[in-house]
Amino acid sequence: MAYVFEVKDLCFKYPKHQEDTIKSISFSVEKGIIFGLLGPSGAGKSTTQKILTKLLTGYTGSILYDGKDLNTYNKSYYENIGVGFEMPVHFNKLTALENLKYFAGLYKKTINYEELLRRVGLYEAKDQMVGEFSKGMKIRLNFVRALLNNPEVIFLDEPTNGLDPKNAKVIKDIIHELKNQGKTIFITTHLMGDVEQLCDKVVFITRGKISQVSTPRELKLKYGKKEIYVEYLNGNTRKKDTFSLENIGSDETFLSVIKNYAIETIHSGETSMEDIFIKVTGEEKYE
Amino acid sequence: MSSLLHLIKGEIIRLFKYKIIFFGILVSLIWLLVIGFQTPEQAQAIIPLLIVTDSGLMAIILIGASFYFEKQENTVKSLLVSPVSLVQVLIAKVVSAIFTAFISLIIVVGFAIIFHGLEVQILKLFVYILAVVISHTAIGYILILRSKDFMAMLVKYAGLMLLFYTPTLLISLEIVGSNLEILAFISPSYSGEFLIQSSFVKLDVVKQLIAYVYLMVLGMGIYVGYVYKKFKKVAIEG
């Protein structure tokens, strides 16, 4: 298995803080996957991402990128990675195209960003000042900025937060396409719907420590109830029964219900990613 | 090298887009009014002070405005995850400050030459202005990197102005004798003013050398020893 990142015993403390923000975490990111780093606000997700993007230094532990110590990479590291920030990162008094031209000029190779602008629905607004953009437009422009250099590893912080469902779908579709091209995508998000739709592997961070490493499917199996709930009409009376998924095919009562009554709804006991988030992180509320 | 040129070009374009250059030119035009009402002798005496104020102390305000714009827009973060070094980013910023200083220098000195017929050693002036800009912007970055916002920086800046101009005042009002003038060179503004003045009139070469080396060493020392270490940390905060 080829790894893009291998993080071992990573600790980090901000100079003015009393305790470590990151407390000896270890995880690995396989090449070509969509990796989700999840956790409540202040858990250490952004700090971890800042360390991996070399914005923060002074950590202890080891981080290997493509098998080599991250510290040995110089500015050429940024030719291989793309970073999409959660907040807008553009010059407001420059147009979208001027912004992209400026940042593209810093790389050896770039994509056809006008085509990508078209894809995310910003082509018509390319000559508009970014300061006049809506929040959603700025988020989409951030996404294009992150992909400017056709990076092999893409860091995306809340890539669809604040987007309407149509535009969020466009972004998610592109993320899937990037994965299919063999790129590795590192996502930090609190939108559990995105996690379920996008991520191959997730790591939950709570108060600087890893509380769970898994896949969305495994988590759903682990935390969900192996049951199905059937609502049906018995004459004029609405009834609801619960059946165990174990040997459901030979459960006479279940088979009788679906054969003899008008079924209104069937739901599985699969738990939502939101519930899993709360269970894993121990947080009642999250942002 | 091409990345550096690209960064410099971007900085200069933004000076125009954010109207920072417009603000700089406006201040220079105010100086023209001041110079216009002076006799040639008075103009020659006051121009070095105006140039240092414009190219040195105003540069602090301009780089401050530029820094806080960029911090507010998070563009520095975007730049720091690009294949450019922090040294290149800082050089581009200093060059854009020098560009602004040259424009105001051309306006002010050009007017003085045309209107008052003053004689000036242009090349010397341009070389000396580099030392003024490098030292003052470096000091400006100390203020910026130690202030939470632009207003907090301006408060510190006001104190700095007072401190820097005190030697000029003390000497011009003859409160301090010329035998103590060498101590006044500690003030970067006084040293800068002396250097600029030497482009108009003949002054002690040794003192020029001391002032020039002092400003360059001070500026470079601050950039290397302080700005380089703190810039990234402050830029990515928040």
Q: How many independent structural domains does chain B possess? A: 1
Q: Which of A142-156, B42-56, B68-82 reaches the highest mean pLDDT?
A: A142-156
Is A168's pLDDT higher than 60?
yes
Tell me the pLDDT of chain B averaged across its residues.
90
Tell me the pLDDT of chain A averaged across its residues.
92
Is A285's pLDDT higher than 50?
no
Residues of chain A neighbouring B236 (CB-CB closer than 8 A): 50, 55-56
A4-50 pLDDT, tens digit each: 999 999 999 998 888 899 999 999 999 999 999 998 888 899 899 99
Residue A15 included in any domain: yes
Residue of B nearest to A94 (CA): B17
Flag the least confident range among B10-24, B59-73, B172-186. B172-186
Residue of A nearest to B84 (CA): A75
Residues 6+ apart with CB under 8 A from B220: B134, B138
Q: Hey, what's the torsion of the CAs at B40, B43, B48, B52, to 10 degrees?
A: -150
Residue A282 included in any domain: no
User: Do A249 and A151 share a structural domain?
Assistant: no
User: Do A66 and A126 share a structural domain?
Assistant: yes
**CA distances from residue A139 to A106, A145, B219 in whole angstroms, order as listed:** 21, 10, 39
Q: How far is B159 from chain A (nearest CA, A)?
A: 27
CA B11 vs. chain centroid, Å, equals 16
How high is the pLDDT of residue A221?
85
Which CATH number do you get for residue A50?
A: 3.40.50.300
The model's confidence at residue A287, banded by pLDDT at 50, 70 and 90, is very low
Q: What is the pTM of this model?
A: 0.86
User: Do A136 and A101 share a structural domain?
Assistant: yes
The model's confidence at residue A286, banded by pLDDT at 50, 70 and 90, is very low
Q: How far is A249 from chain B (nearest CA, A)?
A: 55
A170-205 pLDDT, tens digit each: 999 999 999 999 999 999 988 888 898 999 999 999
Q: Using CA atoms, how far apart are residues A106 and A152, in angstroms rounded to an integer?
A: 17
Residue A278 included in any domain: no
Give A166-174 contacts, CB < 8 A, sequence gap 24+.
Answer: A167/A120, A167/A121, A167/A136, A167/A140, A168/A194, A170/A119, A170/A120, A170/A121, A171/A120, A171/A140, A171/A143, A172/A197, A172/A198, A174/A119, A174/A120, A174/A143
Task: For chain B, give percent helix, strand, coil, nearest 5.
Answer: 85, 0, 15
A196-221 pLDDT, tens digit each: 899 999 999 999 999 889 998 888 88
| Residue closest to A240 by CA, chosen among A248, A249, A251, A232 | A232
User: Do A247 and A190 share a structural domain?
Assistant: no
CA A154 vs. chain centroid, Å, equals 11
Average pLDDT of the segment spanning A104-119: 95
A257-266 pLDDT, tens digit each: 999 999 999 9
* SS3 call for A243: strand
B76-106 pLDDT, tens digit each: 999 999 999 999 999 999 999 999 999 999 9
Residue A249 domain boundaries: 225-269
Q: Using CA atoms, how far apart are residues A60 and A219, in angstroms rounded to an integer?
A: 30
How high is the pLDDT of residue A235?
85
CB atoms within 10 A of CB A233: 12
Higher pLDDT, A181 or B174: A181
- Exposure class string for A250-270: b at 16+ Cβ within 10 A, else e: eeeebeebeeebeeeeeeeee
Q: How far is B22 from chain A (nearest CA, A)?
A: 15
User: Do A167 and A130 share a structural domain?
Assistant: yes
Residues of chain B neighbouring A76 (CB-CB closer than 8 A): 83
B1 in contact with chain A, both atoms CB, cutoff 8 A:
no
Residues of A with CB under 8 A from a CB of B: 50, 53-56, 75-79, 81, 83, 85, 87-94, 98, 102-103, 105-108, 145
| Residue closest to B118 by CA, chosen among B39, B31, B53, B50 | B39
Q: How many independent structural domains does chain A possess? A: 2
| Chains A, B: CB pairs < 8 Å | 66
User: Do A74 and A11 share a structural domain?
Assistant: yes
Average pLDDT of the segment spanning B208-228: 96
Residue A287 included in any domain: no
DSSP assignment letter at A270: P
Residue of A nearest to B80 (CA): A55
How high is the pLDDT of residue A283?
61
Half-sphere exposure of residue A143, counting CA atoms within 13 Å on the CB side?
Answer: 30
Residue A277 included in any domain: no
Element (H, E) at A117: helix A113-119
Q: Do A94 and B17 touch (CB under 8 A)?
A: yes
Is A272's pLDDT higher than 90?
no
Instruction: Give the largest Cα separation in chain A, rounded.
Output: 74
Residue B137 domain boundaries: 2-236
Phi and psi angles of residue A87, each rounded to the nearest 5 degrees, phi first: -90, 155
Is A99's pLDDT higher than 90?
yes
* pLDDT > 70 fraction of chain A, expressed in percent and rounded: 98
Question: Which residues 24-83 of chain B have a CB within 8 Å of chain A?
Answer: 73-75, 77-83
User: Do A265 and A174 share a structural domain?
Assistant: no
B230 in contact with chain A, both atoms CB, cutoff 8 A:
no
User: Do A201 and A121 share a structural domain?
Assistant: yes
How high is the pLDDT of residue A284?
53
Q: Do A106 and B17 touch (CB under 8 A)?
A: no
User: Do A130 and A234 share a structural domain?
Assistant: no
The model's confidence at residue B1, banded by pLDDT at 50, 70 and 90, is low
Residues of chain B neighbouring A93 (CB-CB closer than 8 A): 14, 17-18
